[in-house]
Structure 1
């Protein structure tokens, strides 16, 4: 499992929490930052998945 996948998943969780805090407190900026961080985590996770797939393909 690539480290990008782990870091991406952590960013997604952090972004989800930040988005929820922004929603509860009515802070649109925090909510938007959380959404952006969650999206960045999804992208990083996808990069890690691609690296894993490439690594697995080279092993075969």
Structure 2
């Protein structure tokens, strides 16, 4: 299950980065903020998985 969560985190990060970039390009501040939030959510999920890996060992 951990691998599934790690890949989910990467997908969230990528989607967030893309949404943020598109929002900046078209001047849509709302989309930019959504992208930043989504990327941060992916970062948090990835950090959680890294902590879980540390305690597994």
TM-score, normalised to structure 1's length? Answer: 0.84
Q: CA deviation at 1:9?
A: 1.1
Q: CA deviation at 1:4?
A: 2.2
TM-score, normalised to structure 2's length? Answer: 0.88
User: What SS is found at the alignment partner of 1:11?
Assistant: helix
Q: CA deviation at 1:6?
A: 1.4
Deviation digits for residues 1-53 of structure 1 (CA, Å, limit 9, x no counterpart): 82322111110000000000100110000000000000000000001111111
Cα RMSD (Å) = 1.3
How many pairs are equivalent? 56
Distance 2:53 2:39 in 1: 21
Q: For residues 1-60 of structure 1, what are the structure 2 equivalents within 5 Å?
A: 2=2, 3-55=4-56, 57=57
The unaligned stretches of length 5 or more in structure 1 are none
Equivalent residues of 1:5, 1:47 under 8 A apart? no
